[in-house]
Structure 1
Amino acid sequence: MYMVYWTMVEETEITPHAQAFGTEEMVAAMGFMEELRKRQRAGEGVRFVTMCSEHPDVVGHPGVDVTGPEYNWKKRRR
């Protein structure tokens, strides 16, 4: 699943927006973002255009997991 987020800034009013796209719709989401950026270049108050994705069949949990006392990660430098 993809979400496109953007903000409309008009004089003193700031309004956040979002639109969802399905897992198979990445090209459509990117096209939508380009349309928003065209509006921005034309002088409209479109700001902060970004996209975020989250796979519905992900195996692990997002974020940082808790490690036990036996965890001993070291960065190897060469």
Structure 2
Amino acid sequence: MYMVYWTEADDGPRSREFASKDMSAAMQFMEALRKRQREGDGVCFITMCSENPDSVGHPGVADPSPDYNWKKRRR
């Protein structure tokens, strides 16, 4: 899934969701927002985030599991 976030001067923060297969549509939407920004509309902070539904692990940072035993090799 993709989320596009932006801020409009009059309305505050906004967002719009796009399906995982619609990255192209999300980028076209962002470009339309940037065009409005270049034309002087009160649009700013345009960004996109994605979340992969097929990700192997959990997102974020965590301590390693107790059975994780990594050692640096030295010669």
Normalised by the length of structure 1, the TM-score is 0.80
Q: How far did 1:43 drift?
A: 0.4
Correspondence for 1:5: 5
Matched, 1:63 2:60: yes
Q: After the TM superposition, which parts of structure 1 deviate over 3 Å for at least 4 consecutive aligned residues?
A: 68-74
- Say how many residue pairs are matched: 71
- 1:15 equivalent among 2, 12, 26: 12
Percent identity of equivalent pairs? 56
* Cα root mean square deviation, aligned: 1.9
Taking a change above 3 Å as real, the CA distance of residues 23 and 69 of structure 1, as seen in their structure-2 partners, is: closer
Alpha-carbon displacement from aligned partner over 1:5-43 (angstroms, at most 9, x marks no partner):
000114xxx610000000000000000000000000000
Structure 1: which 5+ runs fail to align?
none
CA distance in 2, matches of 1:39, 1:53: 23
CA distance in 2, matches of 1:70, 1:60: 15
